[in-house]
Amino acid sequence: MKEPMKQSDEATGSPSGVSRRKFLTYAGAIAGAGVIIASCHKKDDNVVAVQADIDLGSADQGLLNYAYLLQQLEAAFYETVVKYPYPGMTATEVGFFTNMRDHEYAHREFLKNYLTPTKAIPMVEVDFSSIDFNLKSSVMAKAKFFEETVTNALNGICKLLTFSDSLVLVTKMASVDARHSAIINDFITPGTFAESTDSNGMDATQDPQSSLDIVRKFFKRTISGIYLPKY
């Protein structure tokens, strides 16, 4: 299947009515166009070009990008929960979910700016096909899963960051996600707010590689974290 015009739309933003010849003229004039033209000869080229892998990067930048990815996930989740409330969602529940959504917006937008446009990964489309937003138990279970996963991941990221300013900023966000996690736990089973703390009174933590493995399936693009720092 060849869809050169679709590809040209993506690459140049030209209207779809433009002729192939004109496209080639256009393309010849822009930098890097050789790549686009070459790719037009391949099959399934649009898939390759549009669905490229995202690499989070290395060192602190990679860790911050991973935090950014996680906040994108949480923000998208609560946004959907509030937009499509399950039947019987109480006003109190709406209030809590809306607050949490807005905190995740704050985390997401802050990290996006802090990383700067050249270093931040793009917004990644989420895949929530495994979540039934019409069912309270499904929403609560996923909220618990996301909050625990993100709390543990942020704790892990904080352990690895080398630049103190970044450490402080992520630390400030990590405890707010821990607050969310505690409350969601209490909503599901009262008294389980700190079920994850160990015999030293410490909360759980997870290294970026293994936590990325369990959130990957919630994104429509493939995410690579192979260069992320390790414990």
Partner 1 sequence: MKIKNIIKGIENLEPAAFEQTEDRRSILKSFGAKIAAAAIPVIALSSKKSSAKTTDVLAESIVFALGITLMQEKFYLLATTQNVPWPPEVEANIKKIYKDKQAQNKYWTDVLVATGNTVPAPLSYNFALHNQLNDVFTNYSSFLLVAQVLEDVGVRMYGTAVLGLVTNKALRGDAINMRSANARHAAHIRLLRRNAGVDMMPWITGNNANTVIGEVIKGYQGEDNTMQGIYNITNLNGAKISFNAATEAFDEPMEKAEAELFIQGFTT
Q: Which is nearer to partner 1, 23 or 97 (CB)?
A: 97
3-state secondary structure at position 81? helix
Residue ranges that bind partner 1, judged by CB under 8 A: 96, 99, 102-103, 105-110, 112-114, 151, 155, 158-160, 162-165, 167-169, 171-176, 178-183, 186, 190-191, 193-194, 196-197, 199-205
β-pair type (54-55, 223-224): parallel
Cα separations in angstroms, 195 against 41, 148, 178, 190: 57, 11, 12, 11
The nearer residue to partner 1, 11 or 100, going by C-beta atoms, is 100
How near is the Cβ of 99 to partner 1 at its closest, in Å?
Answer: 6
Rank residues 88 and 191 by Cβ distance to partner 1 and give the closer one: 191
Token digits of residue 83? 């937009």
Q: Which is nearer to partner 1, 132 or 203 (CB)?
A: 203
What amino acid occupies position 96?
A: F
Residues ≥6 apart with Cβ < 8 Å to 154: 67, 70, 170, 173, 174, 177
In angstroms, give the least distance from the CB of 25 to partner 1.
37
**C-beta of 91: minimal distance to partner 1 in Å?**
14
Give SS3 for 228. Answer: coil
CB of 204 to partner 1, least distance (A): 7
